[in-house]
A and B are shown apart, each in its own frame.
Chain A
Amino acid sequence: MTVLASSSSSSPLQFWGYFMDHRSEDLGWLWDHTWLSVLPVVIGLLIALPLGWLARRYRWVYPPMMSITGLLYTIPSIALFVLIPPIFGLGALDPKQVPIALTIYSVALLVRVVADGLASVSDETIQAATAIGYKPVGRLFRVELPIAVPVITAGLRVALVANVSIVAVAGTIGMSNLGQLFTQGFQQSTPDAYYPPIVLGIVLCVLLALVLDLSVQALNRLLTPWRRAVRT
């Protein structure tokens, strides 16, 4: 533990210096980490919207769909990463295995969120919308989905923050992202611990998660102006 206080180049506090020395590499990994965290959630949401709507529209679909998505969560991500190539006919080291695996997790998470979000729209609201002349499709996009936005964005926040952590796991099997910093620090920790890359990786992951989380909150505010109107 005395290492924590030491001022040698192995001290955990040297992570900033480490970052400055490796800016281009680290920023490249940060960028890879960012799109690997975000893109699967976006694609996942696009897939989850119709599925969640189905689960809401046809009630009998809901239980089996939730069981299947619940089952997907229990697959450890490291196993899912390596399972993807044989299933999708990709090369063993195809970097696409990571976004595909994360998209599967995101869909599994967001289907339930979308279905429950749509369920959070009260019957009175739906009846009122129908009464003022909305057809089912228009009602879905102009009334039900906007009202479901807070629930859906809450799910998006969970999915994004979880993805940032899972992407790092892919770094341990050679994929290019901030997880590489952990592998690197681990390997250089002989004969003694080498903290800077490990601490830097943690700091960048937390910052990334924070920024993504705040962005979704901002998006939520933008999409639900009526909530602010009530509050002020």
Chain B
Amino acid sequence: MISSVITWLNDPSHWRDTRLNTGIITQLEAHLRFSGIALLIALLIALPLGLFIGHTGRLSWLVAAANALRALPTVGVLVLLTVMIAPNFHGRTDTGYVIPTEIVLVLLAIPPILSNTYAGVQNVDPAVRDAAFGMGMTGSQVLLRVEFPCSLPLIFSGFRSATLQVIATATIASYIPLGGLGRFIYDGLAQQDFPQMIGGGVLVAALALSADLLLAAVQRYAVSRGISGRISKKQVAAPDSRLATVTQAEVATV
């Protein structure tokens, strides 16, 4: 079975678009597009919000509310939004199906980013914060120059967890039915073409792993060595290893 999957993946005709079949490259682009847009939107919403809530301590119920979003069944929300939105779009466009998919993926990505950003700012050593104010920094300077850099490790862990979930879950777009790598899984399932189906699964997993490695590399450059502990051999514990653990260990919902 493994060899038939490798054969499927190695067949150049599966990578290019043909008249009736969309190739791996196009579906990979679609998959990246769905995931990238959703992650970007989620980041633009959750990062400023998390920083604000963490810094001011106001509206902290929003974090709990966002975490409650995790209880929403992804397929259910997707189906609901699809039957609501899709019939309103006419002509050669898949916008009616793209919008529900993006909403579902954004809902999925917000909780880990928001709660980790909030926890990151909350966990900044009060002494460090006091010192920053003592040096004469204003509130926003403290937030941007002290609290934000200090909470970067947790923010990254939240964003990486969101990325893994979004990439794995973007396969669900093929249920309603859009493109993306999930197409191979659902088509393979319907055609009982196991090499195609497993090949699709392998591609999604490989994409998720590559994205995570890339983010790990970015994190290495972005996080100050004074915080990550790479400056000395002494391992500095994460601000709250317990929180990091739980949010990192998210399961992809699809």
B252 near A169 (CB under 8 angstroms)?
Answer: no
Instruction: State A192–B88 Cα separation when bound (angstroms).
Output: 11
- Evaluate whether A86 and B71 lie within 8 angstroms (CB atoms) in the complex, with A193-B83, A194-B83 already known: no
Q: Which of A109-125 contact B (CB under 8 A)?
A: 109, 112-113, 116, 119-120
Given contacts A166-B251, A172-B175, A198-B83, contact A74 B168 (CB under 8 A): yes
Q: Give the size category of B's interface with A.
A: 35 or more
From residue 147 to 166 of chain A, which have CB atoms closer than 8 A to chain B?
150-151, 154-155, 158-159, 161-166
Q: Is the CB of B84 within 8 A of A1?
A: yes
Report A39-90 residues with CB < 8 Å from chain B CB. 70-71, 73-80, 82-83, 86
The answer to whether B71 and A75 touch across the interface, beta carbons within 8 angstroms, is no
Q: Is the CB of A186 within 8 A of B209?
A: no
CA of A82 to CA of B205, assembled, Å: 15
A-B contact count (CB 8 A): 169
A-chain residues with CB within 8 Å of residue B74 when the two chains form the complex: 165, 168-169
Q: Which residues of B contact A29 (CB under 8 A)?
A: none
Instruction: Report if B46 contacts A (CB, 8 A).
Output: no
Complex Cα–Cα for A172 and B73 (A): 12
A209 at the interface (CB under 8 A from B): yes
Binding site secondary structure of chain A? helix
Which residues of B does A touch, CB under 8 Å?
1, 70-77, 79-80, 82-84, 87, 164, 167-169, 171-172, 175, 182, 185-186, 189, 194, 197-198, 200-201, 204-205, 208-209, 212, 241-242, 245-246, 248-254
Q: Does A219 contact B (CB under 8 A)?
A: no
- Mask, A161-186, CB within 8 Å of B = 1, is 11111101101110000110110011
0 or 1 for each of A1-31: is its CB under 8 Å from B? (1 = yes): 1010000000000000000000000000000
Query: Are A164 and B71 closer than 8 Å at their CB atoms?
Result: yes
A205 at the interface (CB under 8 A from B): yes
A213 contacts B by Cβ under 8 Å: yes
Residue of B80, B82, B171, B246 near A76 (CB, 8 A) is B171
Distance in angstroms between the alpha carbons of A165 and B80 in the assembled complex: 15
